[in-house]
Chains A and B, each alone.
Chain A
Amino acid sequence: MITRDELKKNRLFREFSGQELDMVRIVVDEGIYDDGRLIIKEGGPGERLYLIDAGKCSVTTQISGAGTEEIKLLGEGDFFGEMSLIEAAPVSATVYARGRCRLLWIDRKAFDRLIAEDMPVANKLLKAIILTLCERARDTTAKIEGYYKMSQF
């Protein structure tokens, strides 16, 4: 089973107590992904929240007429896949393993149960996701400024 320390490394669980981490540990699975392996595909169903325990993952998107572009590189302590679980919508980007990486994941059923079971724990988890989405929105909006300027040349 995943240890408390392994979970605590992830930004989602930094504020969790030992007891709260134990509630999460029992629903987390793990796997090793080799370099270049597809983890989730844009447009596909989102069934898991992935936590990066070790290694890096490349978040890419399809640009019409131009192919695949990397929009973000995620590393240890980051997570992805949460938007599809929240919205019950298709995955918004394709994610590959960049180098060998170890991922932990929580599937949709376990995620929903975790959110429903204990409100203070759920609120901590939701707040951590909110703060990360704030950061991603700031980052994406700043990139738009940069890309806009480049598109003017």
Chain B
Amino acid sequence: MEDRIKILAECELFKTLPPEALEMVAARCYEGEAEAGEALVVEGKPADGLYVIVEGNVDYIKKVDEKRGLVLFRWRPGDVLGLDPVMDGKEHYVTAVAATPVKFLRILPKDLWAVCAADPLYEHRLFGQTLLIQSSGLRQTTLRLREFLAKIIK
């Protein structure tokens, strides 16, 4: 339990939560592992939780046809994946594949929302950090978009 709290306290999404809220999240986490090449989330599948990367790297892949995918960027320990589908309740729009053996913590959507419902302050802090993560992700995605636009135009 203490290990989980330590991991969550260093994770961008949860680091501003007070200790009692971190305990709530930690108590609701599942620990998991994935082999290199194994998909943690799959494009088109429903939101199944947040994944906090504890060890290893995970590639963020956009499918471009039946066989190929484009690696948009790589998640590292402390990063969170699956955030947007948990927030908007829609399906995953990318596939996340373990690039190395990976250890992660998984939090189900209903458990995250239970923490938010427990105190408006917890919700406030989680929403604030969510926006920072989304904003930074969107900047990176837009950069990739520009690269492809530049290729087409040239």
Contact = CB atoms under 8 A, between A and B. Distances in A.
Contacts of B139: 83, 89, 92
B88 to A, nearest CB: 4
Name which of A83, A140, A148 has the most chain B CB atoms within 10 A of its CB.
Answer: A148
Contacts of A131: 87-88
Secondary structure type dominating chain A contacts: helix
Interface of A: 61, 63-66, 69, 71, 83, 86-87, 89, 92-93, 119-120, 122-123, 126-127, 129-131, 133-138, 140-145, 147-151
A133 B8 CA distance: 24
Contact of A66 (B63, B72, B130, B150): B150
19 contacts: A63-B146, A63-B149, A65-B150, A65-B153, A69-B149, A93-B142, A119-B121, A123-B124, A130-B134, A131-B87, A133-B135, A133-B138, A134-B84, A134-B87, A137-B84, A137-B138, A137-B141, A144-B148, A148-B148
B34 to A, nearest CB: 22
A129 B153 contact: no
Given A83-B138, A86-B135, A126 B87 contact: no
Given A87-B132, A123-B124, A131-B87, A61 B152 contact: no
Interface size class of B (residues with CB under 8 A): 35 or more
Contacts of B130: 126, 130
Contacts of A148: 62, 64, 70, 148
Nearest to B141: A140
A126 B126 CA distance: 10
Nearest to B70: A148
Contacts of A126: 124, 127-128, 130-131
B15 to A, nearest CB: 16
